[in-house]
Structure 1
Amino acid sequence: MWTCYNIYVLAAFGTIGGGLFGFDISSMSAWLATDTYMNYFHHPNDNLQGGITASMSAGSWLGALGAGFLSDKFGRKKALMFASLLWIVGSVVSLSAKNVGHLIAGRVINGFCVGITSSQTPVYLAELSPKNIRGRVVGIQQWAIEWGILIMYFISYGCTFINSPSGFRLAWGLQAVPAVILFGALFFFPESPRWLASKDRWEECLNVLAHLHAGGNPDDPTVIAEYEEVREAQAIAAQAKAVAWIGLFGPKMWKRTTIGVFAQVWQQLLGGNVMMYYIVYVFQMAGLTGNINLVSSSIQYVIFLLTTVVTLAMIDRIGRRPLFVYGGILMGALNFAVAGLMANYGHHVDGVGNNANVVWQVTGRPAKGIIACTYLFVAVYGFTWAPCTWIYVSEIFPLQYRAKGVGLATSANWAFNFALAYFVPPAFHNIIWRTYIIFGVFCFCGVVHSFFMFPETCGKTLEEIDQLFEEGVPAWKSDKVHSKLDKRIHELEEKTHAAEVEKVEQ
């Protein structure tokens, strides 16, 4: 069977798994303020709506925990194929929902798929990518999430003009289409060379590396150097006992595990996904209702998309650490600004439109200030933590722990995603503007943690990142450590050149 080895094509189709996550986010957010949805599901209160929204995150948590086992046993590619089938099933269950329980069941199944794809797509792409563009390639996962959010939001927006349950059923049914495309495309994808190495399938491993980096030439110096690194890393991994979850918290792994878990936790606690899920609520507080609210909400998705693509173009030059540190500072300031505007210029209301869950409103110029801060927050989030976290977590674990480690870290993302999706509607109802104070404090906690604990991974192979942790290089000095692979490639190129010169002279 013909196999595609173009890394950008692989990323474009592989990250459809991220697009499914985006589809699920906006397939709910676009309907929160519509009469059709509210009437059909009997006007869910803030707690029930939090549960409906968070049900996808609950499924994703379970999916991420199980993803490592599936990926290690059957391969990265087959794990993604299984997830695609789950998404199709979940979409069918959601579109046929007759009540809240039925809808939650569909979202949990969809979430199980997203848990697998969100954890294993970055692993798969990181293991395929050359080190010099790995950030860009893995970061396409986040960009795909944002495309999914935007596309599904506009599909849902169009379907809101259908004044019957057929509107949301059509929208939730159409979200199955990308999963069908992903499932079909995966038949033409190569398996991860690192996974093949873990199964001692060395000939296949070399073949994939040769096609990825040198048009199929196994004698290319880049291919030889990376193949040697993979063999060395696998030899070290083979000396260890069978990998178990508890090993992630062993003496040599606990730092990586806590960094991976907290990178995902901070990404949630910054407040970014709250904007994605409940932007309609935020803009209702700022006095926008009806179609004006929906159109204004869509603008933030466009901003998110554009800022992330700028980061993807630069991330392999500017690194990961600056994005974590400076991004967290700016987002913390914007959270405090929104809290200040709401506290000083807002007032209690009994509800906005048909949404009784919104009990605070700001009007006039301060409302425009809130909208502006929200757009700026989404822009900074798209520039920094949103794409960078997925890239970073896929890089820091060694081969034998990578699938399980990324799965565990991603499960932490989904656990907090669930908690926040459930917490935010009651928070907006009970503590209102103080919600933003909480997120602002978390932003600065993330800044401190990333500065002191997150080493720079940019420009290094996955095996060199292992060495970085093994040697205990302080995080703030890690950007001074240069790649050893480049030196090895240079040595091989000189050796090849000398052999060619000698042959000519003879």
Structure 2
Amino acid sequence: MYRISNIYALAAFGTIGGALFGFDISSMSAWIGAPQYLEYFNHPDSNLQGGITASMSAGSFVGAVGSGWLSDHLGRRGSLMVASIVWVIGSALQCSAQNVAHLIVGRVVSGLSIGVTSSQVCVYLAELAPGRIRGRIVGIQQWAIEWGILIMYLISYGCSRGIQGPGAFRLAWGIQGVPGIVLLVALFFFPESPRWLASKERWEECLDTLAMLHSKGNRDDPVVVAEYEEVKEAANIAAQSKDVNFLGLLGKKMWKRTAAGMSVQMWQQLLGGNVAMYYIVYLLSMAGMSGNTALTSSIIQYVIFLVTTGLIIPIVDRIPRRLLLISGAIVCMALHFATAGLMASYGYPVDSVGDNPNLRWVIHGPAAKGVIACSYIFVAVYGLSWAPAGWIYCSEVFPLKYRAKGVGLSAATNWIFNFAIAYFVAPAFTNIVWKTYIIFGVFCFAMTVHIFFTYPETAGRTLEEIDLVFDTNTPPWKTGRLAPNAFQERLEQVKQKKERDFPGASEHEHV
């Protein structure tokens, strides 16, 4: 069967899995203020709305936890096929929702799919892409999420304006199934990950896939031969441990990687992106916007998000990961504190905003414009830094034998905090209002300190070189200065020491 070999084409189709995440985000955020949705579901209060919004994240957490096992047994491609089918089922359940419970079940099922795709698309693309462009290839996953957010929001906007009654949201939620079908069909023409093939000792297929991806089928190309040898050496680790489990991620040589992968996903959520994405309509309503004006302003924010991430992806591999993460956290911290200050100084409490009793704070005039500007700038900074860098970093830090489970656990961390934040923000806007932004500002400060002292630099390294970054005693803030030849020298030193201590060991082990 014909296989797609262009890495950018593979990324474009593969990251439809990310677009599914984006579809589900705006399939809810676009409707929480719409009369068709509110009337049909009996105007859910802030706690119930938080639960509806967060139900997708709950399913995604379960899906992400199980994604490593699924990916290791069925292959990266096979796990994404299963996720595509589950997504279509979830879309059908949401489209046919008769009550809140039915809707929540549909969102949980869709979440199971997103849990798999959000973690394993990163693994799959990281294992297909050459080290020099791995960041931009994996980063396309985040860009696809943003395309999904914008496209679904526009679909929902059109449905809400053109269709009266529940048919409006049913049509929008039914359309969600289309990209899942497209992804399923495309996967039949994808190659399997060469590193997964190596882990199953399918060496001929592994070499053929590497040759197809990097040299148009020439198995003797020096680049192909060099990468094949690296993959073989890394696969020796997996051969020594047939029954890899989650406890291994907490072992002596793995806990730092696990902590980095999990915490970068935790911090991505605690940065406050969900405040801007899930509940932008709430913020705009408190700033005095409603109807078409609020919807149009929401679209502007999603376009900003899309454009900024699109600008950073082509150059993301030229910028240190640590610089993106730390600078993004600092600027976002300042924006959160500025938003809180404006709302506290120029806003005042009310019984309700329009017909929405969940909102009890308003702000008018120039200060309202300042709050909206802060939200727009926040989304721009988020799109330039944490949105792509968080997913890229967690896909890089794990060695082959733990990669699927490690990235799955990292994604599960993202989803459990996504669930918590999605549930928390709706009642927070009702009860503590501007103090919500103070909380997220403090989180940004904490992550800045944590990243500086614990995250090694991974940009521009092969996945095998990153293994050595974590195994050296170099302080994380100095790892960006390690020259490429330092990795080879370190590898040779380790091999020589093992050969002296355990003759023949270097033929079977790789550190």
Give the TM-score normalised by structure 1: 0.95
SS at match of 1:160: helix
Aligned to 1:109: 109
Match of 1:74 in 2: 74
Tell me by how many angstroms 1:341 deviates.
0.2
Partner of 2:342: 341
CA-to-partner distance for each residue in 1:14-52, whole Å, 9 max, x for gaps? 000000000000001011111110010000000000000
How far apart are 1:486 and its partner, in Å?
11
- Identify the residue that residue 26 of structure 1 maps to in structure 2: 26
| Distance apart, 1:456 and its partner CA | 1.1
Match of 1:280 in 2: 281
Q: Using the alignment, how far apart are the partners of 2:312 and 2:381 within structure 1? A: 10
SS in 2 for 1:464: helix
Give the conservation status (yes or no) of the 8 Å contact 2:465–2:487.
no
Residue equivalent to 1:225: 226
Q: Distance in 1 between matches of 2:250 and 2:488?
A: 33
Structure 2 contact 129–137 (Cα < 8 Å) conserved: yes
* Letter of the structure 2 residue corresponding to residue 407 of structure 1: G
Give the alignment of 1:302-317 within 5 angstroms.
302-317=303-318
The residue number in structure 2 matching 1:369 is 370
Look up the match of 1:152: 152
- Paired with 2:287 and 2:321, the residues of 1 have a C-alpha distance of 34
Letter paired with 2:483? H
SS at the partner of 1:209?
A: helix
Letter matched to residue 173 of structure 1: G
In the other structure, the counterpart of 2:498 is none
SS in 2 for 1:347: strand
Letter in 1 for 2:228: Y
What is the aligned partner in structure 1 of residue 361 from structure 2? 360
Instruction: Please name the residue that 2:434 is paired with.
Output: 433
The answer on 1:406 being equivalent to 2:407 is yes
Q: Does the CA-based 8 Å contact 2:350-2:361 persist in structure 1?
A: yes
1:54-73 pair list within 5 angstroms: 54-73=54-73
CA distance in 2, matches of 1:118, 1:236: 26
Aligned letter for 2:286? M
1:291 corresponds in structure 2 to: 292
Alpha carbons 1:459, 1:483 under 8 Å: kept:
no
Distance 1:484 1:125 in 2: 26
CA distance in 2, matches of 1:282, 1:466: 44
Amino acid at match of 1:319: P
SS in 2 for 1:358: coil
Distance 1:257 1:487 in 2: 24
Q: Write the letter of the residue equivalent to 2:316.
A: I
- 3-state SS in 2 of match to 1:191: coil
Which digits, 9 at most, give the CA deviation of each residue in 1:218-245, with x for residues without a partner? 1111111111111111113322352111
Letter in 2 for 1:396: V
Structure 1 counterpart of 2:492: none
Q: Which amino acid aligns with 2:146?
A: E
Query: Which residue of structure 1 aligns with residue 390 of structure 2?
Result: 389
Deviation string, structure 1 residues 388-429 (Cα, Å, up to 9, x no partner): 010110010000000000000100100000001101111111
Note the alpha carbon deviations across 1:306-348, whole angstroms, 9 max, x for none: 0001110111111211100111000000000000000000011
* Equivalent residue, structure 2, for 1:263: 264
State the Cα distance separating 1:448 from its structure 2 match: 1.0
Equivalences for residues 34-183 of structure 1 within 5 A: 34-161=34-161, 162-183=163-184
Give the AA of the match of 2:369.
K
Query: Gaps (5+ residues) in structure 2?
Result: 490-511
Match in the other structure for 2:199: 198
Partner of 2:373, secondary structure, is helix
* Secondary structure of 2:48's aligned partner: helix
Q: What is the match of residue 425 of structure 2?
A: 424
Contact residue 62 and residue 112 of structure 1 kept, 8 A: yes
Aligned residues: CA RMSD: 1.2
Q: Distance in 2 between matches of 1:350 and 1:85?
A: 45
Give the structure-2-normalised TM-score: 0.94
Q: Is the 8 A contact 1:35 1:354 kept in 2?
A: no
Taking the aligned partners of 2:322 and 2:221, their CA distance within structure 1 comes to: 32
Contact 2:336 2:441 in 1 (8 A): yes
Q: Distance in 2 between matches of 1:11 and 1:32?
A: 32
Q: CA deviation at 1:354?
A: 1.8
Q: Which 10-residue stretch deviates more, 47-56 or 458-467?
A: 458-467
* Superposition deviation, residue 464 in structure 1: 0.6
8 Å CA contact 1:287, 1:361 repeated in 2:
yes
* Distance in 2 between residues matched to 1:206 and 1:12, nearest whole Å: 23
Contact 2:50 2:426 in 1 (8 A): yes
- Conserved 8 A contact 1:226-1:485: no
Asked whether the 8 Å contact 1:225–1:485 carries over to 2, the reply is no
Distance (Å, rounded) in 2 between the aligned partners of 1:484 and 1:185: 39
CA distance in 1, matches of 2:416, 2:49: 17
The SS at the match of 1:248 is: helix
Q: What percent of counterpart residues are identical?
A: 64
Secondary structure of 1:217's counterpart equals coil
Count how many residue pairs are aligned between Structure 1 and Structure 2: 488
- Return the offset for 1:484: 4.8
Query: In 1, distance between residues paired with 2:432 and 2:408?
Result: 34
Aligned to 1:481: 482
Cα distance in 2 for partners of 1:104, 1:236 equals 42
CA displacement at 1:487 relative to structure 2: 8.0
Could you say if the C-alpha distance between residues 233 and 485 of structure 1 is closer, same or farther in structure 2, counting changes exceeding 3 Å? Answer: farther
Counterpart-to-counterpart distance in 1, 2:190 and 2:320 = 29
Report how far residue 485 of structure 1 moved: 11
- Whole-angstrom CA distance in 2 between matches of 1:212 and 1:317: 22
1:32-84 per-position Cα deviation (integer Å, ceiling 9, x unaligned): 11111001000000000000000000000000000000000110000000000
Does the 8 Å contact 1:460/1:482 carry over to 2?
Answer: no
For residues 195 and 282 of structure 2, what CA distance do their matches in structure 1 show?
A: 45
Work out the CA distance in 1 between the residues paired with 2:182 and 2:484: 37
Contact persistence 1:284–1:352 (CA under 8 A): yes
Which letter maps to 1:48?
L
Q: Which runs of 5+ in 1 are unaligned?
A: 489-506
- Which residue in 2 is equivalent to 1:491? none
C-alpha separation in 2, matches of 1:281 and 1:422: 14
Quote the offset at 1:444 in angstroms: 1.1
Contact 2:429 2:436 in 1 (8 A): yes
Partner of 1:353, secondary structure, is coil
